[in-house]
Amino acid sequence: MSEHATPRFARKMNLNDWLTYLESLHPKTIALGLDRIEMVKQQLGLQPDFPIITVGGTNGKGSVCAMLESILHAAGYKVGCYTSPHLLHYNERVRIGKQQASDAELCTSFEKIEQARNDIPLTYFEFGTLAAMQCFIQHQVDIAILEVGLGGRLDAVNVFDTDCAVVASVDIDHTDYLGETREQIAFEKAGIFRPGRVAIFADDDVPQAIREHARQVGAELWCIGGEFCFREHQGQWDYSGKAGTRTALPHPALRGAFQLHNACAALAALDALQDKLSVSIDAVRRGLAEVRLPGRFQVVPGRPMLILDVAHNPHAARALAKNLATLPSCPMTFAVFAMLGDKDIAGVASTLDPFIDTWLVASLGGKRGASFEDQARILAQCDVRGAIQVFDDVAKAISFVYNVASENDRIVAFGSFYTVAEAMKAKGLSVT
């Protein structure tokens, strides 16, 4: 028995107890590799008998997962969806039939994993991945959607074979783990491809590593602009793919200039699995119209306008900038800005600089959080045009901006999932 197993016998552990315990188990927050989780998976006997769609990408993977979940739910399937990170509550990561898993079933899953792992060290994310699959098997879902946590090749979700792999985009992020070039990162993301299965790529610029890895493993590669595409017209859009054309589709309820790429990826994945999962055009339309995903260019009702966006790398910042450019002009745009210290703060700030009049820079807690001093220094080095003010935390920045902004101004809270989560808490918002 592991020396770490003792706490679970001391008393009945609630979900918060378990999450605190899991955070303490492994010396590294991120430990890539599949050997450890594969051993525990075998000990647990986790052998899903339903189709799996695995979704990766630098950005956009959460949107693709949400659209797939919404469309398949509208088609009448019981869908298991595992995503990360969460905003307010861990349960957001594990959904069955669009309902969050309960504290009780997550705790039960964690305890089974703890008993099975013996002395095998698992990270927080690896525990969560196994727990999600246990829940999906227990609920006998019709299909599971798994979002890659980091990279793909060595990510925990890759321990489960996929029936269709989706890579939404490839850009520079997590260079300490995935490589410093787009080709190196593309290779890691292509690691979710499987022989004889369809691999979807939804970025207009296809890295050679994507094509080469698909060829080497024997995956059938479908790329946007080639095997599938879209065309906008008169407020609607048409999708064309290997299984035919779907016309007069509504724009996804998720706002943003790149969401049609993500929607295309979702529909291509459905094409790939059409023999296993029949989806009507009505289900596609309803799913696109009803999809929800907090924190992705989320406009909160009220005045002044509040926009929440988890943009935390230059690629996502470019998407946010493009979306802001489509909005009507306003007297002032305030940025509630906080990032993790291991992210490209200068790249994100420089990209959004033309759209920001005042930077309200806040510290993020935790080991990875950047202090307001460090962030303000980087913004000054970037010579941002807007004034810079600093705050101990996001909640104080939110409180301040609502006291100084007029009803016609705009507030954009971005830089990290943590930033959006703290802004949501400060405003009393929920994820539903």
Q: 92 falls in which pLDDT band (50, 70, 90)? A: very high
Contact yes or no for 67/249 (Cβ under 8 A): no
Can you tell me the distance from the alpha carbon of 162 to that of 269, in angstroms, rounded to the nearest whole number? 11
CATH fold for domain 298-427: Protein-Tyrosine Phosphatase; Chain A (3.90.190)
Question: 94-96 and 79-82: which strand pairing?
Answer: antiparallel
Could you tell me how far CA 298 lies from the centroid of its own chain? 14
Compute the mean pLDDT over every residue in the chain, rounded to the nearest whole number: 93
Using 50, 70 and 90 to split pLDDT, how confident is the model at 177?
low
Give every CB contact of residue 156 below 8 A, 6+ residues apart in sequence: 34, 37, 123, 125, 126, 129, 130, 149
Q: 143-147 and 99-100: which strand pairing?
A: unpaired
Q: Does residue 100 carry a pLDDT above 80?
A: yes
Q: Is the pTM of this model over 0.85?
A: yes
pLDDT at 366: 82
Q: Reply yes or no on whether the pLDDT at 367 is more than 90.
A: no
pLDDT band at 5 (very low <50, low <70, confident <90, very high): very low
Three-state SS string over the chain comes to: CCHHHCHHHHCCCCHHHHHHHHHHHCCCCCCCCCHHHHHHHHHHCCCCCCCEEEEECCCCHHHHHHHHHHHHHHCCCCEEEECCCCCCCHHHHEEECCEECCHHHHHHHHHHHHHHHCCCCCCHHHHHHHHHHHHHHHHCCCEEEEECCCCCCCCHHHHCCCCEEEECCCCCCCHHHHCCCHHHHHHHHHHHCCCCCEEEECCCCCCHHHHHHHHHHCCEEEEECCCEEEEEECCEEEEEECCEEEEEECCCCCCCCCHHHHHHHHHHHHHHCCCCCCCCHHHHHHHHHHCCCCCCCEEECCCCEEEEECCCCHHHHHHHHHHHHCCCCCCCEEEEECCECCCCHHHHHHHHHHHCCEEEEECCCCCCECCHHHHHHHHHHCCCCCEEEEECCHHHHHHHHHHHCCCCCEEEEECCHHHHHHHHHHHCCCCC
174 confidence band (pLDDT: 50, 70, 90): low
- Superfamily in which the 3-290 domain is placed by CATH: Mur-like, catalytic domain (3.40.1190.10)
- Model pLDDT, residue 150: 85
pLDDT of residue 29: 58
Q: What is the mean pLDDT of residues 290-304?
A: 95
Contact between 158 and 152 under an 8 Å Cβ cutoff? The reply is yes
The two tokens of residue 297 are 């260019």
Domain boundaries, the chain: 3-290, 298-427
Q: Do domains 3-290 and 298-427 have the same CATH topology?
A: no
* pLDDT attached to residue 304: 97
Peptide bond into 328 cis (omega under 30): no
Question: Of the given ranges (27-31, 224-228, 265-269), which has the lowest mean pLDDT?
Answer: 27-31
- pLDDT computed for residue 27 by the predictor: 58
- Closest C-alpha among 384, 387, 316 to residue 63: 316
Binned at pLDDT 50, 70 and 90, residue 257 comes out as confident
Residue 2 has pLDDT above 50, yes or no: no
Q: How far apart, in Å, are the Cα atoms of 217 and each of 58, 143, 147, 167, 192? A: 22, 24, 21, 16, 10
Dist CA 375 CA 392 (whole Å) = 12
Q: Judge whether residue 32 has pLDDT over 60.
A: yes
Q: Report whether 246 contacts 238 (CB < 8 A).
A: yes
Which tens digit of pLDDT belongs to each residue from 132-157? Answer: 999 999 999 999 999 999 888 999 99
235-271 per-residue burial string, b: 16 or more CB within 10 A, e: under 16: eebebbbebeebeebbebbbbbebbbbbbbbbbbbbb
pLDDT at position 3 is 42
* In the predicted structure, residue 176 carries a pLDDT above the cut 80: no
pLDDT in tens, 373-423: 999 999 999 999 999 999 999 999 999 999 999 999 999 999 999 999 999
